[in-house]
Amino acid sequence: MTYSDIGFLFMLKRFGGIQRIVKSSDFKLAIIFASILAIICGYLSISRDIIFALSPILITVGAALVAVIITGLAIIVSTSDDDFIHLLTDIKIYENILFPFWLSAIISGASIVVNIISYIAISIVRPILIISVNAINLNNYIYTCLLWLSFLFTFYALFSIISLIENAIKYGLYRSEIIELSSTQLEGIEEIFD
């Protein structure tokens, strides 16, 4: 395994690409929750107020999730020895363990960025942007789209952290069992961390 083998794009390709991420249950749940909440807020024309109230909180949540990711990665790395890591790389499992950390960190970072942009957009752009066409308030649609993006990335970050914790628990449970198995018995073990 080289340094390029643990890069995000390389690991994303091995993981199954964007297609696998979009098909995942945590992404679908994030879309459902974000859509329901954004539609309700848009219908009630409170999207701007919700962004203004929740963006600072969601930025903090994103930062806290990054801390959880770093802590989880530290636990995984500290409980691994060189022989165990070599064993996992030989049977091509180590990438499956590391990639969720990458993915969760990127999603959490995107959540922070989207929430900062949303907050800035409603704070600065609102006085400048007054759009109304045939008595339809386009500002509400814009704010609702920003709110949907904020909710989507935040929920997806939360759900990906839950999956990450599940993988960390699996790692701890199966570590001793994997060490005891011989190399010939390790066929098909990739499914554990898939």
* pLDDT tens per residue, range 78-109: 777 777 777 777 777 777 778 888 889 999 99
Residue 35 has pLDDT above 90, yes or no: yes
d(CA 49, CA 53): 6
- Please provide residue 159's backbone torsions phi and psi, each rounded to the nearest 5 degrees: -70, -35
Mean per-residue pLDDT over the chain, rounded: 81
Residue 155 has pLDDT above 80, yes or no: yes
Residue 193 has pLDDT above 70, yes or no: no
Q: For residue 60, what are its two tokens?
A: 């903090």
Under the banding of pLDDT at 50, 70 and 90, the label for residue 117 is very high
Instruction: Report the pLDDT averaged over residues 52-76.
Output: 92
Residue 2 has pLDDT above 70, yes or no: no
- Confirm if 116 and 154 have CB atoms less than 8 A apart: no
pLDDT at 137: 64
pLDDT at 81: 73
Q: Distances in Å between the alpha carbon of 105 and those of 67, 72, 99, 193?
A: 9, 11, 10, 18
Q: For residue 56, what are its two tokens?
A: 């600072």
What does the pLDDT look like over 7-23, one tens digit per residue? 777 777 777 778 888 88
Instruction: Report the pLDDT averaged over residues 143-162.
Output: 94
Under the banding of pLDDT at 50, 70 and 90, the label for residue 38 is very high
Please report the sign of the dihedral spanned by the C-alpha atoms of residue 126, residue 130, residue 134, residue 135: positive
For residue 136, give the 3-state DSSP assignment. strand
pLDDT at 1: 56
Q: Which residue in 96, 135, 118, 100 sits closest to 49, CA to CA? A: 118
Residue 139 has pLDDT above 60, yes or no: yes
